[in-house]
Chain A
Amino acid sequence: MGFWAFIARRMLLALFVLVIVSIATFSLAHAVPGDPIEAVLGDRQADNPEVRAALERRWGLDKPLPLQYVYYVGNLLQGDWGESISNRTPVAQALRDRVPATIELSMFALIFAVVLGVPLGIIAALNQDRWPDHVCRFITLLGTSIPVFWLGLLLLYVFFYQLKWLPGPGRLDVGMKPPPTITGMVTIDALVQGDWEVLRAALRRLILPAIVLGSFSMGIVARMLRSSLLASMGDDYVRTARAKGLGEQSVVASHALRNALIPTVTVLGLTTAGLLAGAVLTETIFSWPGIGSFAVSAALKRDYPALLGVTLIVAVIYVLVNLLVDVIYGLLDPRIRST
């Protein structure tokens, strides 16, 4: 099968998953009790049948469920993601404002995971069962064992409260004006417009949340790279490379590591889901205005349109990332394309 056929098949599959996902989110929010109208109006107003009927009509809650779903998907495709019940603003607008913040944070978290995880994995594998290996494995174990929200508090306590080296929660310093929106990601917008002061402030505020969010992925990447590097070091082609008289550095870098990176890329892609999940807690701690904190506030207020919107957008990002991972995987390893 050619590369493009492979991509087309993956895209169809992704589309199919998205349809299932939208049905799942929709039925989830509607199958179970909980009265959104009461949540908005309070008990007394909600008991008034006229007020209730008016709101039900307005939000389409009086239509049969399958019809509500058809309306919902139709509206989604036209960019109408409904109106938040709690503050009457369009959900799509809120998501547009917040998605870039989460993507920016996840990007930096991913950079942290790779920049720390890859060297740790390599050092551990090259020093198997010696002290550098034990140290690296302990760090990665910490990364995968510390609850994200607790690590966040710990780092804030040490670097913000005690040492005062780094700023506290928030995306920009108090009173600082964000640069005019281009991408919605403050660092990139500031960079494009040459606003160095804002860029510096934004980067400083990204350090702690990015470490917190990326710690789990870092651990996974390092562990995976260590085990796949150890496995590939014992393979025939590595022995051949050594037999040819290649230096150890060249054997590791251009033979063993190249193959060990394939499963690592896959795992990295899969942990992106973990990033989106971790973003919920990280954003809550660091008052980060992304979709994670949005999901939490929507859930606490039982704001169904907002919750449906955020769940759907997260699933869409997740599916797209997995698609991207599949494509990269296909590029790295031609054998995958034929399966």
Chain B
Amino acid sequence: MAAVMTTREIAIEAGGVRAQPRSDTGEIPGVMIPGRKARSPLGDAIRTLRRKPWAMFGLVVLLSWLVVGLMAPVLPIQDPDYQDLSQKLRSPSSAHPLGTDDLGRDMVSRIVWGARVSVPAGILVIALTGIVGCLLGAVAGYVGGAVDTVVMRSADAILSFPSIILAIAITAVRGGPGLSNALLAVAIVLWPEYARLMRGQVLAIRSSEYVAAAESMGADRKRILFRHILPSTDAPIIVKSTLDVGAAIVLTAGLSFIGLGAVPPTAEWGAMIKQGADKGLQFWWYAAAPGLAIMSVVMALNFLGDGLRDALDPRRRGG
């Protein structure tokens, strides 16, 4: 039994009832107010997050990119593949605020359509990678034995390579360039970290009293794993996956940049930077816009991830 209980444990002990009211509400600590909804740990976390201006800023930037990408077809912008060779490689102007590329395509339109590719791809690949990695890690940690050895040694092998080298090798042997090959490579490279994180969490929680209680009541292993252990492991995974979406976007863009990711004419930010770099430094706007776009998304995710880390960690909450 831990010597010091965290806010979250106190909340659980108190049956979800508001156990530690904040001083700014003027309520008397420990007094339940009839008719008031019980306060959940998730609610607490969201409330803490809302008081972090940088985290909220990150969330707004991220959501803006998603909305802009989603609405790309209805926005009053050019077709991203519409070529006007008389307008090629024009620097930013009122007609083309971010300039045009070497085929005379409007950069604003390509950035917006690129948001449709890069951002959801990053989120999706981390969602899938996270789920697969967490499940493997959870099963390895809970079942132990040979399953544990096989899963964790495979994870070790993959973690013995710098991610992009392995991703390059995977993309190359998958038959060369292509966004789906690049995303698959990113997924293969990133799952072991989730497996490791989850396995550690499961091992720690497995020995707690409420799991022993469930076991003694005859609950089967699947139920214990999914109903009792997994729900307690969310916080570090959520923080990690938020930060990793940024890493996945950069890695995918990096693969496109070296020519192993998205292929023309796909409007993908990394591929656009590569095309801009190939044209030469005098056409700075060509690579600048997609680079700024990637950076804004990654910074937004970093802000959000840091905020979530504070919000989900009861020791840091309110700090």
Contacts and interface: CB of A to CB of B under 8 A. Distances in A.
Interface of A: 17, 20-21, 23-25, 28-29, 31-34, 141-142, 144-150, 153-154, 156-157, 160-161, 273-274, 276-278, 280-281, 284-285, 295-296, 298-300, 302, 307, 310-311, 314-315, 318-319
Interface in B274-319: 276-277, 281-282, 284, 287-288, 291, 294-295, 298-299, 302
Given A17-B156, A296-B258, A29 B165 contact: no
Contact of A299 (B172, B270, B281): B172
Contacts of A318: 160-162
A277 B258 contact: no
A146 B295 contact: yes
B168 interface: yes
A298 B169 CA distance: 9
A149 B302 CA distance: 19
Secondary structure of the B side of the interface?
Answer: helix
Ordered nearest first, which 9 A-B pairs have the shortest CB separation? A150-B291, A277-B162, A299-B172, A161-B281, A277-B164, A32-B173, A145-B299, A20-B157, A145-B298
Interface stretch (B75-83, B102-110, B228-236, B249-257): B249-257
Contact of A307 (B160, B164, B172, B257): B172
Interface of B: 153, 156-158, 160-166, 168-176, 246, 250, 253-254, 257-260, 270, 273, 276-277, 281-282, 284, 287-288, 291, 294-295, 298-299, 302
Given A28-B169, A147-B254, A150-B287, 4 more contacts: A34-B173, A299-B172, A300-B172, A307-B169
A34 B176 contact: yes
B246 A145 contact: yes
B291 A147 contact: yes
B254 A21 contact: no
A160 B169 CA distance: 33
Contact of B295 (A33, A150, A277, A299): A150
28 contacts: A17-B160, A20-B156, A21-B161, A24-B160, A29-B173, A34-B175, A142-B299, A146-B295, A147-B250, A147-B254, A147-B298, A150-B291, A153-B281, A153-B291, A161-B282, A274-B162, A277-B162, A277-B163, A280-B164, A280-B165, A285-B277, A296-B168, A296-B260, A299-B171, A310-B165, A311-B169, A318-B161, A319-B160
A295 B254 CA distance: 14
B319 to A, nearest CB: 10
Contacts of A157: 281, 284
A300 B259 contact: yes
Contacts of A314: 161-162, 165
B168 A280 contact: yes
A25 B164 contact: no
Contacts of A274: 162
Contacts of B158: 24
Contacts of A310: 165
Contacts of A17: 156-157, 160
B160 A281 contact: no
A84 to B, nearest CB: 14
B248 to A, nearest CB: 12
Given A20-B153, A34-B176, A149 B257 contact: yes
Most buried by A among B165, B169, B253: B165
B153 to A, nearest CB: 7
A147 B287 CA distance: 12
A145 B161 contact: no
Contact of B258 (A29, A31, A34, A284): A284
Given A17-B160, A295-B168, A149 B273 contact: yes
A32 B246 contact: no
Given A34-B176, A156-B281, A161-B282, A148 B254 contact: yes
Secondary structure of the A side of the interface?
Answer: helix
Contact of A154 (B153, B259, B260, B291): B291
A62 to B, nearest CB: 19
Contacts of B281: 153, 156-157, 160-161
Nearest to B258: A296
Most buried by A among B161, B291, B295: B161
Contacts of B176: 34, 300, 302
Contacts of B273: 147, 149-150, 153
B169 A25 contact: yes
Contacts of B302: 141, 144-145
B194 to A, nearest CB: 17
Contacts of A153: 273, 276-277, 281, 287, 291
Nearest to B251: A277
B161 to A, nearest CB: 5
A29 B174 CA distance: 9
A319 B82 CA distance: 49
Given A280-B258, A285-B277, A34 B172 contact: yes
A146 B246 CA distance: 10
B254 A299 contact: no
B253 A32 contact: no
Contacts of A20: 153, 156-157, 160
Contacts of B170: 28
A151 B295 CA distance: 10
A337 to B, nearest CB: 21
A171 to B, nearest CB: 19
Contact of B160 (A33, A144, A148, A315): A315
Contacts of A315: 160-161, 165
B73 to A, nearest CB: 27
B173 A147 contact: no
A315 B159 CA distance: 10
B46 to A, nearest CB: 23
Contacts of B288: 154
A100 to B, nearest CB: 18
